[in-house]
Amino acid sequence: MNKMKRCSMLAILCIGFLCSSLQAQDSQSRGDPQIPSFRKDVMPVFFRAGCNSGTCHGSARGKDGFMLSLFGYDPAGDYRRTVEEIPGRRINGSVPEESLLLLKATASVPHTGGKLFDPKSPLYQTLLKWIEAGAPDDSGAVPEVIGITLSNTSVVFDQPSGQLPLQVTANYSDGSTRDVTSLSRFFSNNPSVAQIDAQGLVTGHGFGDTNVFGRYSRFTVGAEVIVLPPADGFIWPDPPANNFIDRLVFQRLEKLRIVPSDLCDDQTFLRRVTLDLVGRPPTPLEYEGFMADEDPDKRASKIDALIATDDFADYQAALWAEQLRVIGGNYSTGATVIKAADRLANWIRDQFRKDRPLNEFVSEMTAASGPNIANGPVNLYTMLVHKPQVDPKMLAADFSQVFLGVQIQCAECHNHPFDRWTMDDYYGFVSFFTGVRRKPGVEAREKRIFWDDKSNPAISPVDGRARPAKTLGAIDPVGVQGDPRGELAKWLTSPENDIFAENIANRIWAHFLGRGVVEPVDDMRVSNPPTNAPLLDGLSKRLVELRFDLRSFVREICNSRVYQLASKPTPTNAKDTRQFSHAKLRRLRADVLLDSIVAVTGIPRNLPGWPAGTKAVHYYPRVSGDTEGPHPGDPFFETFGRSTRGTVCACETKSDPTLSQTMHLVVGDTIRERLSSPSVVKALLESHTQPEKIIETLFVRALSRKPTDKEQMDFRNFISGNESNPEIYEDIFWGLLNSTEFLFNH
C-alpha cells in the first residue's frame, strides 16, 4: 500500500511538473519577460557560479554524476541533463525551494563545490523563478551572444591603491545589448600588479603593467592596466630612434616611466649579432677588423654582410626545420623517413638561400602533393605526423600552432575556454586534412601524398553533423570540390591574414630579443595579449610591406636601437622583463653553444649518423628502423635542452641553465678534449707569442673582447714562472669557456 501511495504521489508530481512546464513554454512562446530563459538567464548562472567550469560539472566526465558542457557550449544537452535526466532529481516542480539544484548551490545539503550563493542572491532568484515556472526550455529562436565589450580597455593608476569598476556588456544577434557584469567572470594575468574582483572592480597593487579580463558566454575581452611608479625624479632621456621599432618601444617605455639602457659597446654588439644571425661567435679576424673600423655605419654594414651569407640562410632554415619537426625515423621503415627528412631539410635550406618570401615558402608546403622522395615540400605531411596513417586532427593542430601561433586543439571537445574559437571552427579547420592520404610510391622508400576525393568532412561530436572545410573565424566553408588545401594555403599566407603575419613576425622578433611580444610565441590568444600591442601590429604590418622578405625584416630588427641596447639595467628598468628596455641575457641554444665551442677551439665534434664537420645547427637524428620515441640524438643536446622534435610546441626547446649542464662542461669531454693537442694554446706557444698576447687572444676567441687591465694582471700573476707550460694556458682557456659570459648572449 505504501509503495502504491509513493508511486501515485510520484505520478502526481510528474504530471504537475509537466503541466506547469507546458504552461511556462506557452508563456515563453508569447514572450513573457517574467519567466527566465534557459539560455539567456539560467545558463549564465551556471557560468557565473562556476558550475560548468572545467574543475566542476563542466569537466570531461562531469562531477558527482552531473555533467554540463564546458562554459555552456551545448545548451540543448545542458537542458536535457539538468531537467530530463533522472526526472525529479535536480528539479522539484512541486516544491521549487527543495530542488537539488538550489539545495546544493546554497550548501543546504552536502556539495563538493561548497556554497556558491545564498537564497537572497540574484543568481538564486533566477533559478527559483525558472523552476517555479516549470523549468521550461526555450521555444523558438533565442538571440545569441555575438560578442562582449568592456567599459574601459585601458586603465592607468598613478598609485598602487587606485581602483576602477569595469562593466561588461553583451551584444546579441538581434541587435540588443545587456549589462552582464554580474553574470561574468573575471581574472588578472598578474595579480601582483593589479587584481579584479568578482564584481569587476580593478585594484592596483604594484608598479608595472598587466591585463585583466572579463568572460561571458564564449567570449573573453581584456583591459590593459598600468600602475605607474612615482613621477618624482623621472626624466625621459629621449633616446634617438633608428626606425619604427624604436619609436613604438620608446613610446611604451616613456608611458611606463621606464628609462631604457644605453647602447651596448661595439664588441658586445659584434658578438651578439654574429651569434643571432649565423649561430657562432665572431672569429678573431672578424673582431680585429670590426674594432679597427672607424665608419660610423659599421654596425649596419656588419648586419648586411652577415645577412648576405649562406650561413644566415642555413641557420634560419635549421630553425624552421626544428619547428616543422624534421627528423629521420619514428614510423614505418626508418630509411624511408630519413630520405624524406633529408629532402625536406635540403628544400628548406634552398628556399632560404634563394631568399624565398616566407608566405610563398609556407604556401607551397601547405598545398603540396606527390611523391615525397622527389618533392621536398610534400614531406611536411611526413614530418608533422610521424605515424603510418595521417591524423587530420594532429595536422590541424600542428598547422594552427606553427603557422598561426594558435592552439586550436583546445577547441576539440568544447569551445576554446580562453579564446574566440568554437568547436565549429575547430572541426571546420580539421576538414582541410581529412582527405590527406599516404600510400607506397614507385620505389620502396617512397610515399605518395594525395587527396582522397571520397573522404568526408570532420564530424562534430555535439550534433553529429559534418563541418566542411572552413578557415578560422570564417562564417562560410571554402566551398571547393576536392582538395581544399589550395584555399587553405591562399588564406593562410595572404597579406590580409593578420594572424599569420603576427605569428611569423613575433617568432622572428623572439629569436633576436629573447622573448616574443606575445610569449609563449605559439600561444597567441585573447587572454594572452601582446605586451606592446602597437609594436606587434607595427612588426606584422612591416613584414607584409616587405612582402614577407626575411632578410629585409631581420635587417630592420637588428638595426633598431632596441636590439642594440646594453644588458646592464638602469635603476628604472632593472625589474622589466616584458618591455625590451634592455638586452635580455640569453643562454645559447644547445646547437649554437656546441658550434661555438667547436669554432673557438678549432676541434670538430662528430655527430651520430652525419659526416664529420657537420654543424650542430644542421643536425637532426637520422634513425634506422623504429625507435622508442623522439630524442635529441646526442648527449650534449639532451643535457642542454635541444628540442626532441616530439611536438611542434616551442616549449620543446629549453634554455634554462641547470646543474647537470655545469657538471657536463666542468668534468665532461666536450671542452676538455678540445684543449689538448692539437690545440689553440700549443699553436700560440709555438709561434713564440708573448704571455700577455696569448691571454688577449684567448679572450678574443672565447668572449669577443680583450681582457680588462685587472684581468690581464690577475692572469699574468697566475702564470708567473710557468710561461712556457701549455697546461697553465689551457686552464685559462677552460675557465673562459665555462664562464657565464661565454655561455650567454648578452
Q: Which residues pair with 149 in a beta bridge?
A: 169
Rounded to whole angstroms, the Cα distance separating 193 from 168 reads 22
* Residue whose C-alpha cell reads 689538448 in the numeric block: 676
Question: How high is the pLDDT of residue 622?
Answer: 66
Nearest-10 crossing angle of helices 590-601, 726-737: 160
Which segments of 386-503 are extended strands (E)? 436-440, 447-451, 458-459, 466-467
Query: End of a domain among 474, 492, 510?
Result: 492
Same domain, 464 and 558: no
Q: What percent of the chain has pLDDT over 90?
A: 67
Rounded to whole angstroms, the Cα distance separating 330 from 120 reads 61
Q: Residue 374 sits in which domain range?
A: 357-492
Please give the grid coordinates belonging to residue 76.
540543448
Average pLDDT in the chain: 89
Q: Which residues pair with 172 in a beta bridge?
A: 145
Q: Average pLDDT for residues 259-274, to the nearest whole number?
A: 98
Same domain, 69 and 119: yes
Nearest to 56 by CA among 92, 126, 65: 65
Rounded to whole angstroms, the Cα distance separating 616 from 637 reads 9
Q: What is the DSSP code (8-state) at residue 418?
A: T
Q: DSSP alpha helices (H): ranges in 493-547?
A: 498-513, 533-545
Beta strands 370-371 and 208-216, pairing class: unpaired
Rounded to whole angstroms, the Cα distance separating 272 from 128 reads 66
pLDDT tens for 599-631 read 999 998 888 878 888 999 998 876 554 444 556
Confirm whether 598 is domain-assigned. Answer: no
Question: How high is the pLDDT of residue 11?
Answer: 46
At 118 the three-state DSSP class reads coil
Confirm whether 709 is domain-assigned. Answer: yes
pLDDT-derived band at 116 (thresholds 50, 70, 90) equals very high
Q: Is the peptide bond before 707 cis (omega within 30 degrees of 0)?
A: no
Confirm whether 631 is domain-assigned. Answer: no
Nearest to 284 by CA among 294, 275, 271: 271
Beta strands 466-467 and 458-459, pairing class: antiparallel
Q: Average pLDDT for residues 100-109, to the nearest whole number?
A: 92
Same domain, 275 and 370: no
* pLDDT higher than threshold 60 for residue 15: no
Confirm whether 630 is domain-assigned. Answer: no
Q: Which residues pair with 164 in a beta bridge?
A: 202
Rounded to whole angstroms, the Cα distance separating 376 from 207 reads 51
123 CB-near residues (< 8 Å, 6+ apart): 45, 48, 49, 105, 116, 117
* pLDDT higher than threshold 80 for residue 359: yes
Out of 195-199, 460-464, 657-661, 718-722, pick the least confident.
460-464
Which has the higher per-residue pLDDT, 318 or 461? 318
Rounded to whole angstroms, the Cα distance separating 477 from 434 reads 15
Q: Average pLDDT for residues 415-429, to the nearest whole number?
A: 86
CB atoms within 10 A of CB 727: 11
Same domain, 444 and 473: yes
Length of the chain measured in residues: 746
Q: Average pLDDT for residues 99-105, to the nearest whole number?
A: 92
Same domain, 383 and 483: yes
Confirm whether 271 is domain-assigned. Answer: yes
Which has the higher per-residue pLDDT, 565 or 333? 565
Same domain, 385 and 458: yes
Amino acid residing at 16: G
**How far is C-alpha 722 from the chain's CA centre?**
54
Same domain, 174 and 249: no
Same domain, 440 and 365: yes
Provide the number of structural domains found in the chain: 5
For residue 252, give Cα distances in angstroms to 249, 265, 567.
5, 24, 19
Q: What is the DSSP code (8-state) at residue 404?
A: I
Q: Please, what's the b/e burial string for 340-373 (b: 16 or more CB within 10 A of its CB; e: otherwise)?
A: bbbbbbebbbebbeeebbbbebbbbbbbbbebbb
183 CB-near residues (< 8 Å, 6+ apart): 44, 45, 47, 48, 216
Query: End of a domain among 72, 100, 132?
Result: 132
Q: Average pLDDT for residues 401-429, to the nearest whole number?
A: 88
264 CB-near residues (< 8 Å, 6+ apart): 272, 564, 565, 566, 567, 583
Q: Is the peptide bond before 237 cis (omega within 30 degrees of 0)?
A: no
Element of type H or E holding 226: strand 219-227
Confirm whether 638 is domain-assigned. Answer: no
Phi first, then psi: what are they for 437, rounded to 5°? Answer: -130, 155
Amino acid residing at 92: N
Amino acid residing at 71: F
Confirm whether 417 is domain-assigned. Answer: yes
Confirm whether 706 is domain-assigned. Answer: yes
Q: 217 and 148 in contact (C-beta within 8 Å)? A: yes
pLDDT-derived band at 421 (thresholds 50, 70, 90) equals confident
Q: What is the DSSP code (8-state) at residue 42?
A: I
CB atoms within 10 A of CB 654: 14
Same domain, 164 and 199: yes
4 CB-near residues (< 8 Å, 6+ apart): none
Nearest to 77 by CA among 344, 528, 462, 470: 462
Q: 719 and 709 in contact (C-beta within 8 Å)? A: no
Same domain, 361 and 488: yes
* pLDDT higher than threshold 50 for residue 432: yes
Same domain, 178 and 281: no
Q: Please, what's the b/e burial string for 564-589 (b: 16 or more CB within 10 A of its CB; e: otherwise)?
A: bbbbebbebbeebebbbbbbeebbbb
Rounded to whole angstroms, the Cα distance separating 715 from 728 reads 10
Question: How high is the pLDDT of residue 89?
Answer: 86
First CA to last CA distance, the chain: 87
44 CB-near residues (< 8 Å, 6+ apart): 180, 183, 216, 217
Beta strands 154-157 and 219-227, pairing class: parallel
Please give the grid coordinates belonging to residue 96.
521549487
Sign of CA dihedral 59, 62, 66, 72: positive
CB atoms within 10 A of CB 74: 19
Please give the grid coordinates belonging to residue 284.
678573431
Question: How high is the pLDDT of residue 442?
Answer: 76
Same domain, 451 and 514: no
At 388 the three-state DSSP class reads coil
Rounded to whole angstroms, the Cα distance separating 272 from 73 reads 49
121 CB-near residues (< 8 Å, 6+ apart): none
Query: End of a domain among 132, 165, 185?
Result: 132
487 CB-near residues (< 8 Å, 6+ apart): 469, 471, 478, 480
Q: Average pLDDT for residues 249-276, to the nearest whole number?
A: 97
74 CB-near residues (< 8 Å, 6+ apart): 462
pLDDT tens for 375-410 read 999 999 988 876 667 899 999 999 999 999 999 998
207 CB-near residues (< 8 Å, 6+ apart): 160, 193, 227, 228, 229
Rg (CA), the chain: 31
Rounded to whole angstroms, the Cα distance separating 23 from 480 reads 48
pLDDT tens for 180-212 read 999 999 999 999 999 999 999 999 999 999 999
Out of 72-86, 410-424, 649-663, 713-727, pick the least confident.
410-424
* pLDDT higher than threshold 80 for residue 31: no
